[in-house]
Amino acid sequence: MLEQFKKHLDKFVKISDDEFVDITQYFELQRLKKKENVLTEGQICKANYFVLDGILRKFFINEKGGQQTTEFAIENWWMTETFSYINQTATAFYIQAVHPTEVLVIRKQAYDELLEKHPALEKYFRMVYQKAYAAAQMRIKFLYEYSREELYLHFLKDQPAFLQRVPQYLVASYLGFTPEYLSEIRKKNLS
């Protein structure tokens, strides 16, 4: 499990084995059950989660009482509610395990201390957030550019493996439409 994280870090920065051992002190391993929440609306988001295995999703409850998924995280991705995490304010989001999921957890205070002690990780997180920001920008472009149907077909083409891993109503929720409409689109496009 930890080798996996080390391998991931190595893609961005040079960390000695000794340094890595110290770094791991700041993290904690957690196993989540299916549908277990690590963050609930109204709470302050106290931790950042690095997914080792499984899937996390982030969602909020809209006016009509439905769950609106805004993000998934799979292996080797970070998941947190960044705004609440950095400002330590109450969140409007839930973070939940879609399947049984294994995560590395780093709490806010540990995160600040870790970066203080290991400046090499400033570079790592700078690069991770830079990448995440770029991805969010492209996501916003897609939301503007494509119709709901096109979003689905695009997703189907780009992430066929991912589609197998989550139920359809979550895909619909992520793409911003209803399960009923997803059904209609799927019927129209063969299958």
Partner DNA sequence: CGGTCTCTTGACGGAGTTCAAAGCTAGTGG
Partner DNA sequence: CCACTAGCTTTGAACTCCGTCAAGAGACCG
Name residues contacting a second copy, limited to 161-180 (CB under 8 A): 176
Which stretch in 2-10, 45-53, 128-136, 175-183 sits in contact with DNA by CB under 7 A?
Answer: 175-183
Residue 144 contacts a second copy per CB under 8 A: yes
The CA distance from 28 to 105, in Å, is: 5
Which residue is associated with the tokens 């294994």?
Answer: 102
The CA distance from 143 to 148, in Å, is: 8
Which stretch in 75-83, 123-131, 134-142, 144-152 sits in contact with DNA by CB under 7 A?
Answer: 144-152
Name residues contacting a second copy, limited to 47-106 (CB under 8 A): 60, 62-63, 68, 70-71, 81-83, 86, 92-93
Name residues contacting a second copy, limited to 104-143 (CB under 8 A): 115, 119, 122-123, 125-126, 129-141, 143
Tokens representing residue 121 in the block? 């990780």
**Phi and psi of 110, rounded to 5°?**
-60, -40
**Phi and psi of 63, rounded to 5°?**
-55, -35
Residues 94 and 40 sit within 8 Å (Cβ to Cβ): yes
Residues that bind DNA (CB under 7 A): 64, 147-149, 167-169, 176-184, 186-187
